[in-house]
């Protein structure tokens, strides 16, 4: 370890401050461009010891767990909470622009759809036994230490108000260390206890059940994907279509971003009559689009596609919405199968949709909507589609993960 003073020139992709030393870049977490800081350096990483000058873009953190000095707390999240809103939004937008440029893509990039405090409806907590009790919180960065949280300004009030509820359930579960995924639904919290070795013992199952019966605001508790108790079906609403979320199932992190992404897709698709929704999940796009057009939804997860199909069959006023379980990584929808479709929406995991895009590039589908949580794989996929004759009309950055370096995007494309 060595001590030295450096000046930060930019932010890296993970939100760390970047200084340029004689031996290459130095990454300094929680430092901002223009700041001069004394750091304790280990290889190419520096820890702030003191400031010689600070940036006018530095602001007081909103959460006490971040640390009052604005150089990062211990909870492992919100790495950009000390950066003012305007440069923060510009940084996230630039991540997307840089990813597109890395593949030679010059496309109009819109202003970012902003995230705001108290919007997150889905969080993953860690639970660990400590001193004969259970603690609930987030993992400290690059450690196995659980930092107990008493507040979380990114989370919805409905999640924060149930922190003690989660602790009660963690005690009842009786395990030493596991994850708790919590999603706020229309009918209460969907709580999934995951990583339980051997599942819940019989006594723990009884204790969890009895605890839920005494508590309020819980729709369901599951353990390792198996339902333990379900006082209410945990429901999501997609433009009037009610979906029962599978245990621990995926949904977008904020309602606001979800609705905006769906509106961008609907606006581009316009008056299409037949649409394919690939990597459809539980129907975030398919069930909304089904109000105006025929939709074929494709998803590999069995529980998700069954939930989508059940909702489609039991919602009045939808055009035909069909559901197919299919692994699009191993068996993408082929170009000849896409004949007759006016538009395609696809929202793959972080790995992107490379093989599916190769088939889309061969197709004659006129309009595409690409939704992505990874700018780098999005850029790769768009480059495949551009080579196949598509034009990227615009890309909109979407922020769902406030004060983090993660940015999502919706790209709309046209052929012909």
Final residue in a domain of this structure, among 235, 266, 296: 235
- Are 271 and 410 members of one domain? yes
What is the spatial distance between Cα 331 and Cα 17, in angstroms, rounded to a whole number? 42
- pLDDT tens digits for range 200-239: 999 999 999 999 999 999 999 999 999 999 999 999 999 9
User: Looking at 147-151, 253-257, 293-297, 298-302, which range is the least confident one?
Assistant: 147-151
- Can you tell me whether residue 93 is helix, strand or coil? helix
Stretch 84-106: mean pLDDT = 97
- Are 226 and 345 members of one domain? no
Beta-strand runs (E) in 320-360:
321-325, 343-346
Has residue 384 got a pLDDT over 90? yes
- pLDDT at 73 (0 to 100): 63
Stretch 88-95: mean pLDDT = 98
Containing structural domain, residue 26: 1-56
- Are 368 and 281 members of one domain? yes
Q: Is residue 287 part of a domain?
A: yes
Tokens of 116: 């705001």
Q: What's the CATH code of the domain at 104?
A: 3.40.50.150
- pLDDT at 306 (0 to 100): 98
Tokens of 226: 């198996």
Q: Is residue 139 part of a domain?
A: yes
Stretch 333-347: mean pLDDT = 98
Q: Is residue 397 part of a domain?
A: yes
- The structural domain count of the chain equals 3
Has residue 72 got a pLDDT over 70? no
| Residues tagged active-site | 373
What is the spatial distance between Cα 411 and Cα 248, in angstroms, rounded to a whole number? 28
User: What's the whole-number average pLDDT of the chain?
Assistant: 94
- Are 136 and 227 members of one domain? yes
What is the spatial distance between Cα 299 and Cα 301, in angstroms, rounded to a whole number? 6
Annotated binding site: 252, 279, 299, 347
Phi then psi for residue 267, to 5 deg, are: -65, -45
- Are 190 and 173 members of one domain? yes
Closest CA to 267 of 182, 188, 157, 345: 345
Half-sphere exposure of residue 29, counting CA atoms within 13 Å on the CB side? 19
Final residue in a domain of this structure, among 10, 30, 56: 56
Contacts of 53 (CB under 8 A, 6+ apart): 34, 35, 36
Has residue 349 got a pLDDT over 70? yes
The pLDDT confidence band at residue 341, using thresholds 50, 70 and 90, is: very high
User: Looking at 82-96, 105-119, 145-159, 280-294, which range is the least confident one?
Assistant: 145-159
- Are 14 and 108 members of one domain? no
- Are 138 and 223 members of one domain? yes
Q: What's the CATH code of the domain at 192?
A: 2.40.50.1070
Has residue 68 got a pLDDT over 70? no
Q: Is residue 85 part of a domain?
A: no
Annotated binding site for S-adenosyl-L-methionine: 252, 279, 299, 347
What is the spatial distance between Cα 145 and Cα 56, in angstroms, rounded to a whole number? 33
Residue 158, Cβ neighbours under 10 Å: how many? 15
What is the spatial distance between Cα 185 and Cα 200, in angstroms, rounded to a whole number? 24
What is the spatial distance between Cα 398 and Cα 404, in angstroms, rounded to a whole number? 12
**119 phi-psi bin (left φ>0, alpha ψ -120 to 50, beta other):** alpha
Has residue 64 got a pLDDT over 90? no
Cα four-point dihedral sign 371, 373, 378, 379: positive
Q: From edge to edge, which strands make up the β-sheet containing 218-223?
A: 146-148, 133-139, 122-130, 177-185, 188-194, 218-223, 226-229
Tokens of 325: 């379980």
- pLDDT at 65 (0 to 100): 86
Q: CB–CB of 305/295 below 8 Å?
A: no
Residue 122, Cβ neighbours under 10 Å: how many? 21
- pLDDT tens digits for range 166-190: 999 999 998 999 999 999 999 999 9
Question: Which contiguous run of DSSP H or E holds residue 231?
Answer: none
Tokens of 333: 């929808």
Q: Is residue 216 part of a domain?
A: yes
The pLDDT confidence band at residue 78, using thresholds 50, 70 and 90, is: confident
What is the spatial distance between Cα 372 and Cα 393, in angstroms, rounded to a whole number? 16
According to DSSP, the β-strands at 133-139 and 146-148 are: antiparallel
- Are 286 and 199 members of one domain? no
- pLDDT at 23 (0 to 100): 81
What is the spatial distance between Cα 413 and Cα 416, in angstroms, rounded to a whole number? 10
- Are 319 and 389 members of one domain? yes
Contacts of 379 (CB under 8 A, 6+ apart): 99, 100, 102, 103, 105
- Are 164 and 41 members of one domain? no
- Are 15 and 130 members of one domain? no
Q: Is residue 79 part of a domain?
A: no
Q: Is residue 64 part of a domain?
A: no
What is the spatial distance between Cα 7 and Cα 233, in angstroms, rounded to a whole number? 54
* Percent of the chain's residues with pLDDT above 70: 98
Q: Is residue 267 part of a domain?
A: yes
- Can you tell me whether residue 133 is helix, strand or coil? strand
| Chain mean position to CA 187 | 22
User: Looking at 62-76, 101-115, 207-221, 399-413, which range is the least confident one?
Assistant: 62-76
Stretch 368-382: mean pLDDT = 98
The pLDDT confidence band at residue 146, using thresholds 50, 70 and 90, is: confident
* β-pair partners for 238: 241
- Are 258 and 206 members of one domain? no
Pinpoint the alpha helices (H) of 103-216. 157-160, 163-173, 202-214
Q: What's the CATH code of the domain at 29?
A: 2.40.50.140
Report CA-CA distances (Å) from 257 to 25, 164, 186, 299: 35, 28, 17, 21
């Amino acid at each position: 370890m060595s001590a030295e003073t450096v000046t930060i020139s930019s932010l890296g992709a993970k939100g760390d401050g970047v200084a340029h030393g004689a031996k290459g870049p130095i990454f300094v977490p929680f430092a901002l461009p223009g700041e001069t800081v004394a750091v304790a350096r280990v290889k190419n990483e520096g820890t702030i010891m003191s400031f010689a000058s600070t940036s006018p873009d530095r602001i007081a953190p909103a959460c006490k767990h971040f640390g009052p000095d604005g150089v990062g707390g211990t909870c492992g999240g919100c790495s950009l909470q000390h950066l003012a809103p305007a440069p923060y939004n510009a940084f996230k937008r630039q991540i997307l622009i840089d990813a597109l440029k890395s593949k030679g893509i010059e496309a109009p990039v819109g202003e970012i759809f902003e995230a705001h405090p108290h919007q997150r409806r889905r969080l993953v907590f860690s639970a660990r036994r400590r001193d004969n009790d259970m603690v609930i919180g987030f993992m400290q960065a690059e450690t196995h230490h659980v930092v107990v949280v008493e507040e979380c300004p990114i989370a919805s009030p409905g999640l924060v108000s149930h922190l003690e509820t989660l602790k009660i359930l963690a005690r009842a579960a009786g395990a030493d260390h596991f994850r708790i995924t919590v999603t706020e639904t229309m009918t209460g919290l969907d709580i999934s206890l995951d990583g339980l070795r051997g599942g819940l013992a019989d006594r723990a199952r009884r204790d969890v059940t009895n605890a839920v019966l005494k508590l309020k605001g819980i729709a369901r508790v599951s353990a390792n994907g198996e339902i333990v108790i379900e006082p209410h079906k945990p429901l999501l609403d997609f433009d009037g279509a009610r979906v029962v979320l599978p245990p621990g199932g995926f949904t977008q992190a904020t309602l606001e971003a979800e609705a905006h992404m769906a509106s961008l897709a609907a606006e581009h698709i316009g008056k299409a009559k037949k649409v394919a929704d690939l990597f459809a999940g539980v129907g975030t796009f398919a069930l909304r689009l089904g109000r105006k057009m025929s939709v074929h939804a494709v998803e590999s997860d069995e529980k998700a596609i069954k939930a989508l199909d059940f909702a489609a069959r039991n919602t009045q006023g939808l055009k035909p919405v069909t559901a197919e379980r299919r692994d699009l990584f191993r068996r993408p929808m082929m170009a000849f199968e896409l004949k007759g479709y006016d538009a395609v929406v696809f929202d793959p995991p972080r790995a992107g949709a490379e093989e599916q895009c190769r088939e889309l590039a061969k197709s004659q589908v006129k309009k595409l909507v690409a939704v992505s949580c990874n700018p780098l794989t999005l850029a790769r996929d768009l480059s495949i589609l551009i080579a196949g004759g598509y034009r990227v009309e615009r890309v909109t950055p979407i922020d769902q993960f406030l004060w983090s370096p993660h940015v999502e995007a919706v790209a709309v494309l046209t052929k012909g």
